[in-house]
Amino acid sequence: MKPNKIILHHSLTKDSDTVSWGAIRNFHTNDNGYSDIGYHFGIEKLRGQTEILLGRMLSKTGAHCKGYNTNAIGICFVGNFDLQLPPKESWDAGIKLVKFLMAEYGIKKVFGHTELNSHKTCPGKLFGLEKFRSELGL
């Protein structure tokens, strides 16, 4: 896969400081029948520390945004940002990850899932997508 865009999501679940990433992977593989978790990366708070987690390998097409998965990297922030602001640590980890991926792959487009599939709110109504893009220099 030669990625040319990044699509941001939120899990719509509470980040409970435990491993939700495994539960998301389980839901995607067992309930949805995917070959793996649909996202390429996750950002989650674990035992008081924010982690960037590996999901589906970047060599594989994701399963996170119907009609737009080809050449797109999917990143899921664990949390429900329709109800609360993203934690600063998760935000900062997301900025760091996206900047790295943009530089590594020459990516110039970062979307929220809602911009491509309007029936979704990803990465959340309170996420601040324009501010995120501004911090990326977009």
Whether 20 has a pLDDT exceeding 80, the answer reads: no
Whether 16 has a pLDDT exceeding 70, the answer reads: no
**Where are the domains positioned within the chain?**
5-136
Tell me the average pLDDT across 108-133: 93
Tell me the DSSP string of the chain: ----EEEEEE-SS---SS--HHHHHHIIIIIS--SS-S-SEEEEEETTEEEEEE-S-TTS---SSTT--TTEEEEEESS-TTTSPPPHHHHHHHHHHHHHHHHHHT---EEEHHHHSTT--TT-TTS-HHHHHHHHT-
CATH of 5-136, one of 3.40.50.970, 3.40.80.10, 3.40.50.300, 3.40.980.10: 3.40.80.10
Average pLDDT, the chain: 91
Question: What is the predicted pLDDT for the residue at 14?
Answer: 66
